Amino acid sequence: MIQPFSWHHLNVWDVGVLPLILLIGAGMLYAWGVRRTTSWPRVRTICFTSGLLVTFVATQTFLGVYDMEYFSDHMIQHLLLIMVAAPLFALSAPLDLAYASGGATIRRWLDSRFIVRFTHPLVAFALYFVFIPLTHLTGLMNYMMEHEWFHHLEQIAFLVVGYLFFRAAFGLERGYKIHPGLRLVYIMAAVPVDTFTGLALSMTSTNPFPAYASMTAAGSTKASILLNIHLGGAIMWIGGDALMLLACIPIAVMWVKWETVRTRELDAILDAQGI
**What is the rounded distance in angstroms from the CA atom of residue 23 to the CA atom of residue 25?**
5
pLDDT of 212 above 90: no
Spatial separation of the C-alpha atoms in residues 114 and 17, rounded to whole Å: 32
pLDDT band at 232 (very low <50, low <70, confident <90, very high): very high
Question: Is the per-residue pLDDT at 4 higher than 80?
Answer: no
Output the furthest CA–CA distance in the chain (Å, rounded).
80
pLDDT tens digits for 59-79? 888 788 778 888 888 899 999
- pLDDT tens sequence across 63-122: 887 788 888 888 999 999 999 999 999 999 999 999 999 889 999 999 999 999 999 999
From CA 232, how far away is CA 219, in angstroms rounded? Answer: 19
Q: How far apart are CA 75 and CA 231, in angstroms?
A: 9
Picking from 26, 189, 152, 170, the residue whose alpha carbon sits closest to that of residue 88 is 170
- Between 244 and 271, where is the model more confident? 244
φ, ψ (nearest 5 deg) of residue 134: -65, -35
Whole-angstrom distance between the N-terminal and C-terminal Cα of the chain?
Answer: 76
Domain ranges of the chain: 8-272
pLDDT, residue 14, reads 57
Which residues does 167 contact at the CB level (< 8 Å), separation at least 6?
Answer: 90, 95, 119, 124, 173
Report which residue type is found at 261: V
d(CA 125, CA 132): 11
Residue 213 to residue 267: CA distance in whole angstroms: 65
Cα(92)–Cα(31) distance, integer angstroms: 12
Q: Quick one: pLDDT at residue 239? A: 92
* Count of CA atoms in the C-beta half-sphere (13 A) of 152: 12
